[in-house]
Chain A
């Protein structure tokens, strides 16, 4: 009597992902979007029944993975260059590309015994500055671009500790292992262990924008388009705004 029941249950378990109408959207997203996007996706999942699966990392890492054929439906990058590269390689559906979010940079220091950095110029006094790898990761590239424009790069380059992504730069300051880091304002807002020493005004900082696009090899294009549309909706924008993102 028992065995048919067990078999039936097993069958159900294996069959259900396909049987159900719910689709699984695989989203490759910039590390800085982690918290806001999780919130937004939870709302979308409740509304549509779709499931959203994330791969958060530096946009440069994600772009490499997508180029190498990683299975993904949407790419949410933290800079236009990474999306340009994928567009150039014909890997995105160009008509779906849209940039709705922006951000600003801040300089953070450890909360308890952080140094006083009244202006970016004071960075010449720190011993170590954590940056997302400034040769490839968007947050680091933005930071370097800003420091170069301010004529500070040559004086701080030797202090730079390049790390995997912007959240790793934040973590290096949280643990006190780096004196300072340049991260997005939204990263600083979610951390309790860092203090914003100085904000880089939007006008003098680099132009930051987050392009989103559907990938050519998406397995769930319809569901991915639904999610993309949701991310541009008022509801999603309100969530992003709550996390400190600027919505365009």
Chain B
């Protein structure tokens, strides 16, 4: 691979990893609340979280652009208080990835939590374990495979993000040009041969992520068998 291709790949992997890391704690919290608690507005929150999965990515991108732009409520505030610009920087790449991959993580983690037999949690509680301890010693380890699978899917989705990214982050070589954007750019330039090489890279990453995610899930189902 050329230096340019490596740079694109490096940026993509770094931003996708950061995005996945940042959404992990809130993603798990939301997934657990959806799986284990009943509360007002639950189905509304559920629907809202799923929206980015089914909405046109470019529409999600537009919402992000309005919120994060230098005159938007969030972007404007960050600009005034911290002098931080989001739009057209790598931060916007991460933001787009976060929003687009969040639903995948939450859905997978929710199912993983639901599959944990509540009786184990009950037993732990009768042995005087607090809720936090129950979560970290019983629920989380038992759901770990399903969560890992969700993390991998979210990571893969983040790597493939295009529609929202191109709106909020632009396509700046060396700064916001991720794998998907680079492929698009090469096709537009008529350099299809090089585009195909990056396509190969994208396929390999996606394949590896989905394959591993599925492997984790298969093992979950086996271990849950009585």
Contacts and interface: CB of A to CB of B under 8 A. Distances in A.
Interface of A: 60-61, 64, 67, 128, 133, 135-136, 160-164, 172, 175-178
A85 to B, nearest CB: 9
B171 A177 contact: no
B187 interface: yes
Interface string B54-71: 000000000001000111
A60 B188 CA distance: 7
Contact of B71 (A60, A164, A175): A175
B173 A177 contact: no
A71 to B, nearest CB: 19
A161 B172 contact: yes
Nearest to B168: A177
A160 B170 CA distance: 11
The prevalent SS among residues of B at the interface is loop
Contacts of A128: 88
Contacts of A162: 170-173
A239 to B, nearest CB: 30
Interface in B102-161: none
B25 interface: no
A60 B192 CA distance: 15
B187 A64 contact: yes
Nearest to A60: B188
Contact of A64 (B71, B170, B190): B190
B87 A177 contact: yes
A175 B188 contact: no
Contacts of B172: 160-162
Interface string B78-110: 000000000110000000000000000000000
Given A162-B171, A162-B173, A177 B188 contact: no
Contacts of B189: 60, 135-136
Given A128-B88, A162-B170, A162-B171, A175 B190 contact: no
Contacts of B87: 177
Given A161-B170, A178-B88, 8 more contacts: A61-B188, A67-B190, A136-B189, A160-B172, A172-B170, A175-B69, A175-B71, A177-B65
A133 B171 contact: yes
24 contacts: A60-B188, A64-B187, A64-B188, A64-B190, A135-B189, A136-B188, A136-B189, A160-B172, A161-B88, A161-B172, A162-B173, A163-B170, A172-B88, A172-B170, A175-B65, A175-B70, A176-B69, A176-B70, A176-B71, A177-B65, A177-B69, A177-B70, A177-B87, A178-B88
A162 B190 CA distance: 17
Contacts of A177: 65, 69-70, 87-88
Interface string B190-203: 10000000000000
6 closest A-B pairs by beta carbon, nearest first, are: A176-B70, A177-B87, A176-B71, A161-B170, A161-B88, A175-B69
A163 B173 CA distance: 11
Contacts of A175: 65, 69-71
Nearest to A135: B189
B116 to A, nearest CB: 45
Contacts of A133: 171, 185, 188
A163 B188 contact: no
A85 B114 CA distance: 59
B82 to A, nearest CB: 15
Given A136-B189, A178-B88, A163 B171 contact: yes
Contacts of A161: 88, 170, 172
Nearest to A160: B172
A189 B71 CA distance: 22
Contacts of A178: 88
A153 B188 CA distance: 23
B95 to A, nearest CB: 14
Nearest to B185: A133
A64 B187 CA distance: 9
